[in-house]
């Protein structure tokens, strides 16, 4: 075939046929026969259906519930290859005839749903999710247990260390230990762990218990894809003879690499309304890691976000000191509840933010005279202001005395 020859086909979903055209030596040959689409016996799916819709990372908030289960089963998962912006999710329990209302899901990164399990009996259960456009179930079923007390108990989590900093080119190592207890003298237990709300386990340990209880020590690498900047939680649960333990957790600190922003502009400054004063930002910024380019933004209250600089190249551990005056929004109201936020973002969208509060005020005098003042009348004027701005106070007083003189003449 030459570069101008081609073989084309088109799936006509309305007629349920494949239309084929062949271009050969600049001649187009249209298929005279309709190729009827049928079912694939291996997968029992219509070839016109998008059979690639999958449920990924199906996970639960916990896997053991005390009877009666007043707390809902909270599931999280992601969808891939959705045929449209919304799909219907059908859920059912394998151990019960209880009907579950279908859910219409809009395409997004993570789906969070709650299911009522209060009417389920004691025992091991499995919830199965399926896409309603297919007879196939996608994603793995999720199992959980309802009982008076778990067959396996976890306690006394210990972490070493308790604080971590994002490493350059590697994942920090966390050492941990958990005490596991079972009702039998000897058995194999699987201990699972996950971080924060990422309920799908990220690591597991198989351990042999020889005398009812054992301290299980192990370690795991901290993957920042599942971590937050600041306080994080590591969660543990275990399985034993098909049963699940309760989920227990403890906290630790993890800090991302991010630009260091130090703003020296004082808090709680006062400004007179409409006197053309600018808010002056002063401070330093640096990166103690390879942050590459940074961008700086600021915002008054809920007003529009403004850009100071975009994609500015930074050198490692080199501090930049600067001041930058910005104008107040023209319609900013009086009061002491105003805020000014400034933040810097690196190439990975790691952000440092500083917030300053300030006050906007106006000075005015309102006096009411019931009779005309006599010459040489002494007026004792008490002026109070939220500001210590003596210049504005004296200016206002001078204007008042000027108009008082006009009244006396």
Q: Which tens digits make up the pLDDT trace of 132-181?
A: 655 554 556 888 888 888 889 999 999 999 999 887 567 899 999 999 99
CATH label of the domain that carries residue 225: 2.60.40.3880
User: What is the total count of domains within the chain?
Assistant: 5
| Residue count (the chain) | 409
Report, as an integer, the average pLDDT of 31-56: 47
CATH label of the domain that carries residue 118: 2.60.40.2950
Same domain, 158 and 128: no
* Structural domain includes residue 386: yes
Same domain, 128 and 192: no
Classify the phi-psi angles of 208: left when phi > 0, otherwise alpha if psi is within -120 to 50, otherwise beta. beta
CA 149 to chain centroid, in Å, comes to 34
Please give the Cα distance from 152 to 226 (Å, whole number): 27
**Which pLDDT does position 21 carry in this prediction?**
53
* Structural domain includes residue 92: yes
Determine the 3-state secondary structure of 396 from DSSP: helix
* Structural domain includes residue 71: yes
Q: What are the C-alpha distances in Å from 237 to residues 65, 145, 189, 281? A: 12, 12, 10, 50
Sorting pLDDT into bands at 50, 70 and 90, what band is 49?
A: very low
Same domain, 137 and 71: yes
Contact (Cβ atoms closer than 8 angstroms) between residue 235 and residue 201: no
**Which pLDDT does position 391 carry in this prediction?**
52
Q: What are the C-alpha distances in Å from 50 to residues 14, 81, 303, 376? A: 15, 8, 45, 95
Tens digit of pLDDT for each residue in 208-231? 999 899 999 999 999 888 888 899
Same domain, 383 and 292: no
* Structural domain includes residue 1: no
**Which pLDDT does position 395 carry in this prediction?**
58
Same domain, 107 and 186: no
Specify the DSSP class assigned to residue 246: P
Same domain, 180 and 133: no
State yes or no: pLDDT of 403 exceeds 80: no
Select from 154, 152, 143 the least CA-distant residue to 59.
Answer: 143
For every residue of 90-143, DSSP letters joined together read EEEETT-------EEEE--S-EEEEE--TT--SEEEEEEEEETTSSSB-S--EE
State yes or no: pLDDT of 239 exceeds 50: yes
Could you tell me the residue range of the domain that residue 313 belongs to? Answer: 260-361
Please give the Cα distance from 139 to 128 (Å, whole number): 9
Domain end marker among 239, 255, 271: 255
Same domain, 399 and 312: no
CATH label of the domain that carries residue 350: 2.60.40.770
The residue that leads in pLDDT, 313 or 15, is: 313
Tens digit of pLDDT for each residue in 267-316? 888 888 777 778 888 999 999 888 889 999 999 998 999 999 999 999 99
State yes or no: pLDDT of 31 exceeds 50: no
Query: Which residues, in sequence order, are CB contacts of 248 under 8 Å at separation 6+?
Result: 154, 155, 157, 178, 235, 236, 237
Same domain, 77 and 111: yes
* Structural domain includes residue 124: yes
Q: What percent of the chain has pLDDT over 90?
A: 26
**Predicted TM-score of the model (pTM):** 0.57
* Structural domain includes residue 340: yes
The residue that leads in pLDDT, 370 or 284, is: 284
* Structural domain includes residue 348: yes
Domain end marker among 187, 220, 255: 255
Same domain, 288 and 337: yes
**Which pLDDT does position 106 carry in this prediction?**
66
Domain end marker among 255, 279, 314: 255
Same domain, 157 and 80: no
Determine the 3-state secondary structure of 388 from DSSP: coil
Please give the Cα distance from 114 to 75 (Å, whole number): 6
State yes or no: pLDDT of 378 exceeds 60: no
């Amino acid at each position: 075939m030459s570069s101008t020859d081609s073989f084309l086909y088109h799936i006509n979903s309305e007629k349920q046929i494949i239309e084929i055209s062949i271009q050969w030596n600049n001649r187009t040959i249209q298929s005279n026969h309709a190729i009827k689409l049928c079912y694939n016996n291996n997968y029992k799916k219509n070839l016109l259906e998008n059979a690639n819709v999958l449920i990924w990372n199906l996970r639960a908030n916990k896997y053991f519930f005390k009877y009666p289960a007043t707390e809902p089963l909270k599931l999280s998962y992601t969808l891939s290859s959705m045929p449209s912006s919304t799909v219907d999710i059908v859920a059912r329990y394998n151990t019960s005839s209880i009907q579950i209302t279908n859910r219409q899901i809009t395409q997004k990164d993570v789906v969070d749903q709650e299911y009522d399990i209060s009417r389920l009996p004691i025992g091991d259960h499995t919830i199965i999710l399926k896409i309603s456009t297919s007879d196939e179930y996608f994603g793995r079923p999720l199992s959980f247990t309802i009982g008076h007390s778990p067959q396996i108990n976890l306690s006394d989590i210990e972490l070493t260390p308790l604080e971590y900093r994002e490493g350059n080119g590697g994942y920090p190592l966390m050492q941990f230990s958990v005490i596991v207890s079972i009702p039998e003298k000897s058995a194999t237990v699987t201990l699972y762990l996950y971080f924060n709300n990422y309920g799908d386990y990220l690591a597991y340990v198989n351990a042999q218990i020889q005398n009812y209880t054992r301290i299980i020590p192990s370690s795991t690498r901290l993957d920042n894809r599942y971590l937050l900047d600041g306080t994080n939680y590591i969660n543990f649960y275990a399985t034993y003879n098909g049963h699940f333990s309760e989920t227990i957790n403890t906290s630790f600190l993890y800090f991302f690499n991010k630009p260091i922003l130090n703003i020296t502009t004082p808090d709680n400054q006062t400004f007179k309304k409409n006197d053309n004063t600018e808010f002056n930002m002063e401070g330093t910024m640096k990166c103690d890691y390879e942050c590459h380019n940074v961008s700086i933004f600021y915002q008054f209250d809920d007003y529009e976000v403004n850009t100071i600089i975009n994609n500015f190249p930074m050198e490692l551990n080199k501090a930049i000191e600067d001041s930058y005056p910005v104008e107040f929004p023209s319609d900013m109201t009086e009061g002491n509840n105003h805020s000014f936020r400034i933040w810097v973002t690196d190439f990975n969208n790691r952000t440092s933010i500083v917030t300053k509060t300030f006050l906007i005020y106006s000075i005015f005098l309102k006096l009411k005279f019931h009779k005309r003042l006599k010459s040489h009348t002494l007026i004792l004027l008490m002026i109070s202001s939220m500001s210590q701005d003596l210049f504005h106070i004296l200016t206002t007083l001078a204007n008042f005395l000027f108009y008082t003189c006009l009244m006396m003449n």
